[in-house]
């Protein structure tokens, strides 16, 4: 049997949500010791609890318990996160940049070395 390890992702997500393990246990209707085991021993909750925890903490289930997914499901999740990779910025069509920026509903995070082209692509209403 492998060595049990704390689930630091779960611990951090609980803290970021402003909850204690006891409060999370109350919300889920489970014993507080059960939540402690999930965190300190890295035990994986039943699927119904994983779904509820992920929703309460506003995190992806696959992020909190990457080993809980079947290898097939883990592959599907990984493939669904990256849609396309472009080797250089110049290869990305300008209309794609515009569509992505115009359709964003919350925020856009872009990691670039030099993003001087971005202001030209922003919708006029977004420029501040």
- More confident call, 14 vs 65: 14
Q: Which pLDDT band, with edges at 50, 70 and 90, does 10 fall under?
A: very high
Is residue 127 helix, strand or coil? coil
Q: In terms of residue numbers, what domain contains 111? A: 89-126
The alpha-carbon radius of gyration of the chain (Å, integer) is: 20
Within 10 A of 44 (CB to CB), how many other CB atoms are there?
15
Instruction: Tell me the H-state helices in 29-117.
Output: 32-40, 47-57, 61-64, 71-81, 94-103
pLDDT value at 2 more than 90:
no
Average pLDDT, the chain: 81
Those residues whose C-beta lies under 8 Å from the C-beta of residue 49, and which sit 6 or more positions away, are 28, 30
Shared-domain flag, residues 48 and 14:
yes
2 lies in some domain: no
Shared-domain flag, residues 12 and 71:
yes
Pair 17, 57: CB distance under 8 Å: yes
3 lies in some domain: no
Per the structure, the count of domains in the chain is 2
38 lies in some domain: yes
1 lies in some domain: no
Shared-domain flag, residues 67 and 16:
yes
d(CA 48, CA 67): 16
% of the chain exceeding 90 in pLDDT: 38
- Average pLDDT of the segment spanning 75-88: 68
The region of weakest confidence among 12-21, 24-33, 55-64, 89-98 is 89-98
111 lies in some domain: yes
39 lies in some domain: yes
Write down the pLDDT at residue 79. Answer: 61
Write down the pLDDT at residue 116. Answer: 75
- More confident call, 76 vs 52: 52
Q: Which pLDDT band, with edges at 50, 70 and 90, does 1 fall under?
A: very low
Shared-domain flag, residues 71 and 22:
yes
pLDDT value at 30 more than 90:
yes
């Amino acid at each position: 049997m492998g060595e049990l390890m704390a689930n630091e992702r779960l611990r951090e997500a609980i803290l970021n949500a402003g909850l204690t393990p006891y409060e999370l246990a109350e919300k889920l209707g489970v014993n507080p010791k059960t939540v402690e085991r999930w965190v300190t021993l890295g035990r994986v909750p039943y699927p119904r609890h994983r779904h509820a925890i992920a929703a309460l903490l506003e995190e992806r289930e696959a992020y909190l318990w990457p080993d809980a997914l079947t290898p097939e499901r883990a592959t599907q999740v990984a493939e669904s996160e990256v849609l396309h990779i472009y080797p250089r910025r110049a290869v990305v069509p300008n209309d794609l940049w515009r569509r992505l920026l115009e359709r964003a509903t919350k925020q856009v995070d872009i990691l670039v070395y030099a993003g001087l082209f971005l202001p030209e692509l922003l919708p006029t209403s977004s420029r501040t």
